[in-house]
């Protein structure tokens, strides 16, 4: 598909500085731009590429002031990164959607199927499952018995949704995600033996949630593991049984949330964050990559770093002292020798 800079500016409520009829047929990173490509500048450290990129057009902020001549056409918008996201969403919607049911799909007679569906090859829809209008169920997806999936959801290849789970409207589950596997519940019988605790709850995923590839959300022991609306989970995340994640929280890859943890609204977790079980995280908290949270965080909008996770300012001060430890150790050794020398006199 091909668009002009003027067409793109119209979609994004932007203005064109340069050739409004320049033809664009792809997007590229600014340092890898080439003829026909649209790129963007949102991080100031990439500004030098504005003057060297081969891209035909660049999305820039409305108040961007170039320090040199720019060969590319500029499309000025309020927020270049957000504008690119909107543009890509518009482009994705313009692609023809797959429809129909593949003959190799297995759909139980008791399942309720909506309209305007795509069901891919070797997908399995079990007893009493409900698939609502506009869903795309890609090849080799498994939908367990009594599962309900809301409207306009996309389940990519290999997604597994166990029995009794509920998925809201407009959700996206990427390849290999597992929803509703048993929580990690075992009762010690002896020092070397554990008895499995049946996990009889389910998982509830509210509207407009996106779940990354190979992320696992365990069913509750009793009740529900709940992912509130607007949550975005990256790839390879483990969500334990009876966890609740608040609205619009985003969590990066390889993070792990132990059982019965409560995470508030609008939180942001970096990669490889670990949360111990049975604790709460207040609304708006930010937790840096590889941090380990061992206790409840009650104050909203707190920023935490490190292990065990502490206030970010305190942690950064600690890092400064840690870097000085070799020097401090040498000074202590020297002082010890000096004191011993004085004693010997």
Q: pTM for the whole thing?
A: 0.84
308 prior amide bond cis, ω within 30: yes
Evaluate whether 239 touches 203 at the Cβ level (below 8 Å).
no
Task: Provide the pLDDT for residue 317.
Answer: 77
Q: At what angle do helices 312-323 and 325-344 cross, to 10 degrees?
A: 50
Query: What sections of the chain are H helices per DSSP?
Result: 5-12, 47-50, 80-94, 312-323, 325-344
**Catalytic residue selected from 122, 138, 241, 278:** 241
**Fold for the domain defined by 3-94:** 3.40.1390
* 301 backbone φψ class: left, alpha, beta (φ>0; ψ -120 to 50): left
Cα-to-chain-centroid distance, residue 109: 36
Q: Can you give the pLDDT at residue 94?
A: 73
User: Is 278 noted as a catalytic residue in this protein?
Assistant: no
What is the per-residue pLDDT for 278? Answer: 96
DSSP string, 150-185: -TT-EE-TT-EE-TT-EE-TT-EE-TT-EEEEPP--
**Ranges under pLDDT 50 in the chain:** none
Q: Is there a shared CATH topology between the 3-94 domain and the 105-314 domain?
A: no
Domain range list for the chain? 3-94, 105-314, 315-344
Instruction: Determine the pLDDT at residue 332.
Output: 85
Q: Please give the CATH number for the structural domain made up of 105-314.
A: 2.160.10.10
């Amino acid at each position: 598909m091909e668009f002009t800079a003027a067409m793109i500016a119209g979609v994004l409520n932007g203005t064109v500085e340069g050739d409004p009829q320049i033809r664009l047929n792809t997007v590229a990173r600014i340092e890898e731009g080439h003829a026909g490509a649209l790129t963007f500048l949102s991080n100031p450290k990439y500004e030098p590429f504005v003057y060297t990129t081969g891209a035909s057009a660049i999305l820039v902020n409305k108040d961007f002031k170039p320090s040199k001549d720019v060969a590319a056409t500029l499309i000025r918008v309020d927020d270049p990164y957000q504008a690119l996201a909107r543009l890509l969403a518009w482009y994705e919607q313009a692609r023809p959607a797959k429809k129909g049911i593949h003959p190799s799909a297995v759909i139980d007679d008791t399942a309720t199927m909506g309209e305007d569906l795509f069901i891919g090859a070797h997908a399995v829809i079990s007893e009493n499952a409900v698939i609502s209008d506009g869903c795309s169920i890609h090849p080799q997806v498994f939908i367990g018995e009594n599962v309900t999936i809301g409207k306009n959801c996309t389940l990519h290849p290999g997604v597994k949704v166990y029995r009794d789970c509920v998925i809201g409207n407009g959700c996206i589950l990427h390849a290999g995600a597992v929803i509703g596997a048993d929580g990690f519940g075992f009762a010690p019988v002896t020092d070397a033996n554990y008895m499995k605790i049946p996990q009889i709850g389910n998982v509830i995923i509210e509207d407009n949630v996106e779940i990354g590839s190979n992320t696992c959300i365990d069913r509750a022991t009793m009740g529900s593991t709940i992912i509130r609306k607007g949550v975005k989970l990256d790839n390879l995340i483990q969500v334990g049984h009876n966890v609740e994640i608040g609205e619009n929280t985003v969590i990066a890859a390889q993070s792990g949330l132990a059982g019965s943890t409560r995470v508030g609204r609008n939180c942001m977790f970096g990669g490889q964050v670990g949360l111990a079980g049975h604790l709460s995280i207040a609304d708006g908290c930010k937790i840096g990559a590889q941090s380990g949270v061992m206790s409840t965080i009650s104050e909203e909008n707190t920023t935490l770093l490190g292990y065990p996770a502490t206030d970010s300012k305190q942690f950064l001060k600690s890092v400064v002292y840690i870097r000085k430890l070799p020097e401090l150790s040498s000074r202590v050794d020297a002082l010890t020798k000096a004191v011993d020398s004085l004693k010997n006199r």
